Amino acid sequence: MNIVEQKLSNWKNSLPKEVPLAGLISISPIAYKWKALYRARILREVVFWRLYDLLEQSFDLHQQGHALGARILLRSGFETLATLIYLNQMKTKTVDGALNFHAFSKKTAVLLLNP
């Protein structure tokens, strides 16, 4: 098995199949009573699943000799990763007090297309 295939397989096995709300509440009953933190967690997991899927398809195309398609999917992967970077920046600004929690909540809703 190729090293890339092995890494993708390990990554897929580490991704959660679901994110139960009860599990998050058990971690922190006070913090997770707000929907914004739950949405941020869901967004994080969705981004990781999408990134895995794009990289897997890109690698498959690369192996078949379709370089252009592989590059397009790889670029989509970077753009997907940018969503996670943006989410982390918003979380940092919220913790630092530069961003209001309600604004953070609205932005997480928009990122999940759930206004």
Please give the chain's pLDDT, 115 residues, in tens. Answer: 689 999 999 999 999 888 777 776 777 666 666 788 888 888 999 999 999 999 999 999 999 999 999 999 999 999 999 999 999 999 999 999 999 999 999 999 999 886 5
Domain ranges of the chain: 3-111
**How far lies 54's CA from each of 22, 26, 77, 95, in Å?**
30, 32, 6, 31
The pair of structure tokens assigned to 79 is 């753009």
35 CB-near residues (< 8 Å, 6+ apart):
105
d(CA 34, CA 46): 19
Q: What is the pTM of this model?
A: 0.81
